[in-house]
Amino acid sequence: MVKELKNKHNLSLIGLIETKRQVVTRLDVGRIWGGSGAGWKYVGSDGASGGLLMIWDETFFKLNNCYKGERWLCVEGVLLKNGFNCAFFLIYGAHSREEKSHVWEELSYIAGLCQVPCCFIGDFNEIVTVEKRKGTASLPLSADEFRSWIQDMHLVDLPLTDRKFTWFCGRSCSRIDRAMVSVEWLEEFPETRLRGGPRGLSDHCPIIVEDKRMSRGPMPFRSLDLWFTHEGFLRMVKEEWRSLGELDFTDKLKALRGPLGRWHKENFGNMDKKISKFEDEIKKVDDMVSNGVYDGTIEARRKALVTCCERWYVRKEIHWKQMSRSRQAKDMDRNTRYFHHIASAKRRNNQIDTLIVNGRLVRNQARIKLAIKGFYKDLYHQERSHLLGIRDGLVERIDEEEAANLEVIPSAEEIREAV
């Protein structure tokens, strides 16, 4: 099964958990990998449980260091294709709360030693939400501690796109197998995705991490909260809207996207660069004060620079918190890189990778698009329905007064209330 998965998905690195073997030889690795040119590291077991084996293609990954624990294995090295320094962690989760905390502390320590982007993958034997374990109404204390560890490590828990649970035992099922990557990892591989494989005879489903670019399709129109922090935004929208004349409402919205995009780029493009510029100016003022140059003008300039810099910090936080919709974003937190990559993970989770069409699982993106288009075409062009308000398969048209009300320009008070 492992060899079949490797060939089917063209895997460059494999991690096996609970091998239940004290020793693994090169012959064993060759049988699993199906050829030569494989590097490997192993953590043996007592024969009853445990055992961690990591195998990789030596043309894909060059090993620099290896660290081993009773329940984890770490290989640190370089991805040869792009010279990316990174570390892969394979984890076999503990069962008791104390043992789990000990394992997470060890992982934090080793990640600190490596000082490179990390990918943590394996059976963590822990959930983070009640929805991830069937029949569970509350979370144990270890779940809160695990969630805190994920946040402290600035890891992104990759969403599983094609199944809800990964472990099954009778009626019990839960999502305890996961892959988590650091923020720096997603900066290098923004399209990192996670999906499950066939369970076969095991009680766990294999999980597959892949870097695969997919067609996103047309992007919907979105209003960004940070636009309303600019004093000229509403004036710009009003002027552009009036200049569009007597176009239909939907056509006006489409036409407005161009001016909005240009205005956004002009006023909010390169926010990091703007913040850095203000920080550099503040440092120059501080250097002048350190050298004995100080008067009322210097102090006023510093206050103005600090105010402007804080305004851009707030705008940046507002933007990424809106994009991430993260549950952890309850209070202002300037760790915007974390929220940026949470937003990226949300976008990946919102994509449709697979779809069941006529009882068959379809992965081809072109076929998925045709199936969705056909579904809604049939839905809105169905035969005469018995539902009230449906005539000739279409919703009845609204009258002229209702149509006019829909096109009325909202007042500033209505916009403010809605926002």
Which domains are delineated in the chain?
2-211 (3.60.10.10), 225-350 (no CATH), 355-418 (no CATH)
Element (H, E) at 86: strand 84-92
Parallel, antiparallel or unpaired: strands 72-79 and 61-68: antiparallel
Q: What is the pLDDT of residue 89?
A: 96
* pTM for the whole structure: 0.57
In whole angstroms, what is the distance from residue 267 CA to residue 160 CA?
37
Helix axes 141-152 and 97-114, enclosed angle (nearest 10): 10
- 282-322: per-residue pLDDT in tens? 888 888 878 877 777 888 888 888 888 888 888 888 887 77
pLDDT in 10s for each residue of the chain, 419 residues: 777 888 788 899 999 988 888 888 888 888 888 777 899 999 987 655 678 999 999 999 999 999 999 899 999 999 998 899 999 999 998 889 999 999 999 999 999 999 999 999 999 999 888 888 887 888 888 999 999 999 889 898 988 877 888 888 888 888 899 999 998 898 888 888 888 888 777 888 899 998 865 555 556 667 788 888 888 888 988 888 888 888 888 788 888 888 888 888 888 888 888 888 888 888 888 888 788 777 778 888 888 888 888 888 888 888 877 766 544 444 445 556 666 666 666 555 566 777 787 877 777 777 787 888 888 877 766 544 544 444 444 456 788 888 888 888 888 888 888 88
Q: What is the pLDDT of residue 120?
A: 96
In whole angstroms, what is the distance from residue 410 CA to residue 303 CA?
38
- Encode 320-336 in three state secondary structure: HHHHHCCCCCCCCCCCH
In whole angstroms, what is the distance from residue 54 CA to residue 11 CA?
12
What distance, in Å, lies between the first and last C-alpha atoms of the chain? 53
- 55-105: per-residue pLDDT in tens? 999 999 999 999 999 899 999 999 998 899 999 999 998 889 999 999 999
- Asked if 419 and 228 count as a contact pair (C-beta separation under 8 A), the reply is yes
Element (H, E) at 195: strand 192-196
